[in-house]
Copies of this chain bind each other. A is one copy, B any other.
Amino acid sequence: MTSPAAGKPIRTAIADEDGIDFAIIELFFFAYRDFTSDPDQILADYGFGRAHHRVLHFVNRRPGLTVAELLDVLKITKQSLARVLKQLIDTDHIVQVQGPRDRRQRELYPTAKGRALALALARPQSRRIRAALEDSGATERATIERFLEAMVNPELRAQIDIVPAQTSGKNHGDH
């Protein structure tokens, strides 16, 4: 069972000894696991994966972004994006439009079909969030948003704010 040179089993649970916040580390893992499980089930019907979801999400959030911008947001390589993006274009969820200023660029836009799928994927996630915030007021909501934003690398935090004014919850847009 145990090989001769193996170290001895430690039978005590790892503790918050060193001031390490295992409680939130673990909660974050479980929360994200279930948060992504809802759209995963829908995606399976289309033969898509989580990567397709992310691309579809950001193209809907920032219509007209270029391939380079998308790569920067997703933090993946061009080669990884290629297959996923091609499938979304081939299935008519996303269209490419030649950049107006720079014709080398490909601006990415959702089609009606792509918009519908993005909404269908976001719906269960939003429902889960709403349920989790059920008894929360604006204060609690702000606390949670602040926390999540603070968890993002400072140098990448700029990406978050690249949301259209009418959509941003922060600078109380024009609606």
As for how many copies of this chain the complex holds, the number is 2
The reply to whether A131 and B160 form a contact with Cβ atoms under 8 Å apart is no
Does A147 sit at the interface, judged by CB under 8 A? yes
The reply to whether B32 and A28 form a contact with Cβ atoms under 8 Å apart is yes
Interface mask (A41-85 → B, CB under 8 Å = 1, otherwise 0) = 000000000000010010011111000000000010000000000
- Contact of A25 with B122 at beta-carbon distance under 8 Å, contacts A153-B34, A169-B16 already known: yes
Chain B hits for A60, CB < 8 A: 13-14
A11-B95 Cα distance, complex, nearest whole Å: 11
Chain B proximity of A7: nearest CB distance (Å): 3
From B6, B30, B35, B37, give the contact of A159 (CB < 8 A).
B30
Chain B hits for A164, CB < 8 A: 13, 15
Interface mask (A9-35 → B, CB under 8 Å = 1, otherwise 0) = 111111110111111111111111111
Closest-by-CB residue of B relative to A58 is B26
Closest-by-CB residue of B relative to A122 is B20
The reply to whether A9 and B169 form a contact with Cβ atoms under 8 Å apart is no
The reply to whether B115 and A14 form a contact with Cβ atoms under 8 Å apart is yes
Chain B hits for A153, CB < 8 A: 34, 37
Chain B hits for A110, CB < 8 A: 9-10, 14
The reply to whether A144 and B145 form a contact with Cβ atoms under 8 Å apart is no
Closest-by-CB residue of B relative to A75 is B33
The reply to whether A1 and B63 form a contact with Cβ atoms under 8 Å apart is no
Chain B proximity of A147: nearest CB distance (Å): 5
The 3 A-B pairs at the shortest CB distance, nearest first, are namely A7-B111, A9-B109, A132-B150
Seed contacts A10-B111, A30-B160; 6 additional CB < 8 Å A-B pairs? A5-B92, A6-B92, A7-B112, A26-B57, A30-B151, A30-B152
